[in-house]
Chain A
Amino acid sequence: MSGVTLNSVRKTYPNGAEAIRGVDMQINSGELIVFVGPSGCGKSTLLRMVAGLESISDGQIKIGDRVINDVSPSERDVAMVFQNYALYPHMSVRGNMSYGLKNRKMPKDEIERRVNEAAAMLKIDQFLDRQPNQLSGGQRQRVAMGRAIVRNPQVFLFDEPLSNLDAKLRVQMRIEIKKLQRRMDVTSIYVTHDQTEAMTLADRLAVINEGRIEQMGAPMELYSDPKTLFVASFIGAPQINLLPVRYDGTQLSNGSLAFTGFADLPQDTDLVLGVRPDMLRHDPEGQFELRVDLVEQHGGENLVYGALLGARDAEGDDLEICLKGPQDLLPEMETVLRLGFDPSAAFVFRKDTGERLL
């Protein structure tokens, strides 16, 4: 097995769109890397450049020690699972799985052996003679995985493979993909915009924004130590609460609200205070108040949404925040809860650059 190396990789589409603006990345052998980011940030483009489906405008991509910029997709030794599965509709499951092997002129009995093995692993052996349109979405997904597995590639590439499945199946397949990847120990790149999927699957996450890597690291590292406002707001569900604030030398303030316990911050610029919903506590001594709009019961925990009294967002409207509490926290609508948080756990960002200060 081998890793993947990207050296200042760029992609400019013929229409002038700059999709990738210089990406450096080292993916270790056997590692599962997840690309996350908002729609249009260039995740698919980057993945497809590794696959060889898009040309590389500038920079270098290596699989192992081999530079693959000019190697055709089929000779890169990568396999890809597509969002809509891209199964050949007129071929049986067996035909779909063996097509790539046949093109490689592999002996018949070896093809047979590999297909049967992969089918057993994915529990699709009873469907081998069916056509894709006689399978459910989840089964098609497995066939698509099977088609990738039989090739025994150096690298697996997944482009949002689960987004056409229902929520329950998505969780189940996610676990299976993880197990399979562990078992086969194949270097993998997985693209998704679902941040739960990203957090749970990844060995390391790469958050991509406008064609650049915003931050790369283990999921928990990105969650608890985001380097930028973008990463903090992208990682974590429910989303982090963001309050526009100014620093006056002693405290952070927004409207009539003030937060103490912060030091060494610039006074001449707009700042953003970031507090995750689970950092907020219901606390009679707390520094501020929340007027409850909505309570969502998620079973083990409750999410309380409401307006932060005395604070205004950038447009001057009520500032909506979210608090994650235990399941017995069930305030009535319109009641006021007093809240507090530990200032040392909160994040402070510069508003203009998004850089994290604290």
Chain B
Amino acid sequence: MTRPGITTHLILICGAIFMTLPVWVAFATSTHAPETILREGLQILPGGHFFETYKEVLFVEGGVMKKVTATTMMKNSMILGIGFAVGKVIISMLAAYAIVYFRFRLAVPLFWIIFMTLLLPLEVRIIPSYEVVAGMGLLDTYTGLIVPLIASATGTFFFRQFFRSVPDELLEAARLDGASAWGFFIDILVPLSKTMIAAILIIMFVVGWNQYLWPLIMTTKEENYTLVIGIKQIYQVLSEGGELPQFQKAFALTILATLPPVLVVLIFQNWFVKGLVESEK
């Protein structure tokens, strides 16, 4: 392989700028005073209002929305993201375990039924799901927010593929060692799936964090809003309100909303790579 030349670098740099510039503009603009933004539009250079804006967004109720702070919304998003990711991993691992290791007659048809739900996005079943959740009195609860989302064909599929690659002898050795079905799962399969679990957690956390439609119709009270909904609402308030539009706060909220997924990816990525290297034979 030849050393990458100057053109390669130029292309890469252009690509990187192209990808990150909008994020940077959002950040820079969020640190200016509302008057500046109104007068001069988007900003490339950071201004002097960083602490002021972020403090208000994070801690002052009615700073942006009327009743909630970004801290509350962030907490809600966090609970949704984590609950969504953890729930999906648990449900799909258990489903895949049953399908791969228990020889019941319906295993194969069941798997294909689960697999087919991949074709049906949430939007298709959103009305019935809403009916059920509302009927159970779970609107505006975390349970109602998370549980209907965690059944996961994708996760089941990935874990199934992984479990099938685990040598049968491991199961046999564990059976001779007196491990129960549950023991084999907890003691052997879960530790072996560490890498897979980390990968699915990362992906699912980001997906959960970015959920929009379901939280939107599920939550009626402002204090239950997630960040993603909050951003949408804030722009609405901005365009309707009679006062000076608070664009800097909207941008601050956007930046705050992107931070946790970015952090999760950065932190777990290390794990992920380490897991891959360790399990290598």
A interface list, Cβ under 8 A from B: 51-53, 72-75, 78-80, 82-84, 86-90, 99-100, 103-104, 133, 147
Task: Let me know if A99 and B187 touch, CB within 8 A.
Answer: yes
A51 touches B176 (CB 8 A): yes
Taking CB atoms and an 8 Å cut-off, the chain B residues in 256-281 that contact chain A are: 279-281
Nearest chain B CB to A335 CB, angstrom units: 52
Q: A53-B175, A86-B173, A88-B188 are in contact. List 8 more A-B contacts (CB 8 A).
A: A53-B176, A74-B176, A80-B176, A84-B169, A88-B173, A90-B191, A99-B174, A99-B177
Task: Decide if B183 is an interface residue (CB 8 Å cutoff).
Answer: yes
Q: Select from chain B the residue with minimum beta-carbon distance to A86.
A: B169
Q: How far is the CA of A89 from the CA of B194 in the complex (A)?
A: 12
B35 interface hit (Cβ, 8 Å): no
Contact B176 A73 (CB under 8 A): yes
The contact string, 1 if C-beta is below 8 Å from chain A, for chain B 73-91, is: 0000000000000000000
B185 to chain A, nearest CB (A): 13
- Tell whether, in the assembled complex, residue B176 and residue A100 are in contact, meaning their CB atoms are under 8 Å apart: yes
Query: Which of B170, B172, B175, B280 sits near A88, CB closer than 8 Å?
Result: B170
Contact A103-B183, Cβ < 8 Å, known A74-B178, A90-B191? yes
The answer to whether B172 and A82 have CB atoms under 8 Å apart is yes
Q: In the complex, what distance in Å separates the CA atom of A211 from the CA atom of B179?
A: 31
Report chain B residues within 8 Å CB of A88.
170, 173-174, 187-188
**Complex A-B, nearest 9 residue pairs according to Cβ-Cβ distance, in ascending order:** A100-B177, A74-B178, A86-B169, A103-B178, A86-B173, A90-B191, A82-B169, A73-B175, A73-B176
What residues on B are CB-neighbors of A72 within 8 Å?
Answer: 175
**A90 engages B172 (CB within 8 Å):** no
User: Which residues of B are interface residues toward A (Cβ below 8 A)?
Assistant: 167, 169-170, 172-180, 183, 187-188, 191-192, 194, 279-281
Query: Which A residues lie within 8 Å of B172 (CB)?
Result: 51, 53, 73, 80, 82, 86
Assembly CA distance A99 to B187 (angstroms) = 9
Min Cβ gap B97→A in Å is 17
Whether A103 contacts B176 by the Cβ 8 Å rule is: no
Question: Considering the chains assembled together, what is the distance between the CA atoms of A52 and B191 in angstroms?
Answer: 26
Could you give 8 example pairs across A and B, Cβ below 8 Å? Answer: A51-B176, A74-B178, A75-B178, A80-B173, A90-B194, A99-B179, A100-B176, A103-B183
Provide the residues of chain A in CB contact with B169, threshold 8 Å: 82-84, 86
Q: Which of A79, A83, A84, A90 contacts B176 (CB 8 A)?
A: A79
B182 to chain A, nearest CB (A): 11
Contact B192 A103 (CB under 8 A): no
Are B183 and A78 neighbours in the complex by a CB distance under 8 Å? no
Contacts of A103 in B (CB 8 A): 177-180, 183
The complex places the Cα of A90 from the Cα of B195 at a distance, in Å, of 12
Known contacts: A90-B191, A99-B187, A133-B281. The answer to whether A104 contacts B178 by CB under 8 A is yes
Given the interface contacts A86-B169, A90-B191, A103-B183, does A78 sit within 8 Å of B178 by beta carbon? no
Q: Which residue of B lies closest to A51 (CB)?
A: B176
Tell me how far the C-beta of A70 lies from the nearest C-beta in chain B, rounded to whole angstroms: 15
CB pair A90 B192 closer than 8 Å: yes
Q: How far is the CB of B170 from chain A (nearest CB, A)?
A: 6
**Separation in Å of the A25 CB from the closest CB of chain B?**
21
Chain B's nearest CB lies how many Å from the CB of A330? 46
* B184 to A: closest C-beta gap in Å: 10
Q: How far is the CA of A241 from the CA of B85 in the complex (A)?
A: 68
Chain B residues positioned under 8 Å from A86 (CB to CB): 167, 169-170, 172-173
Indicate the member of B169, B180, B192, B194 with the most A CB atoms within 10 Å. Answer: B169
Of A75, A83, A99, the most chain B CB neighbours within 10 A belong to A99
Closest CB-CB distance, A24 to chain B, in whole Å? 25
Compute how far the CA of A79 lies from the CA of B178 in the bound complex, rounded to whole angstroms.
11
A103 to B175, CA, bound (A): 10
| Distance, CA A340 to CA B170, complexed state (A) | 55
Residues of A within 8 A of B170 (CB): 86, 88
Q: Which residue of A lies closest to B183 (CB)?
A: A103
Q: B101 to chain A: closest CB distance in Å? A: 14
Q: Which residue of the partner chain B has the closest CB to A75?
A: B178
How far, in Å, is A152 (CB) from chain B's closest CB? 13
**A89 near B173 (CB under 8 angstroms)?**
no
Q: Given A53-B172, A90-B192, A133-B281, is A84 in contact with B178 using a C-beta cutoff of 8 Å? A: no
Residues in A with CB closer than 8 Å to B279 are: 89-90
Return chain B residues, CB-CB under 8 Å to A75: 178
- A78 touching B176 by the CB < 8 A rule? yes
Complex contacts, A80 vs chain B, CB 8 Å? 172-173, 176
- A305 CA / B174 CA spacing, docked (Å): 49
* Nearest A residue (CB) for B279: A89
**In the complex, A53 Cα to B178 Cα: how many Å?**
12
Q: How far does the alpha carbon of A292 sit from the alpha carbon of B191 in the complex, in Å? A: 61
Inter-chain contacts of B177 with A (CB < 8 A): 74, 99-100, 103, 147
B234 to chain A, nearest CB (A): 47
Q: Which residues of A contact B167 (CB under 8 A)?
A: 84, 86
Residue numbers in A under 8 Å from B176 (CB-CB) = 51-53, 73-74, 78-80, 100
A74 close to B183 (CB less than 8 A): no
Chain B residue nearest to A144 in the complex (CB)? B173
CA distance A75 to B172 in the complex (A): 14
User: Which chain B residue lies CB-closest to A88?
Assistant: B188
Q: Which residues of A contact B281 (CB under 8 A)?
A: 89, 133
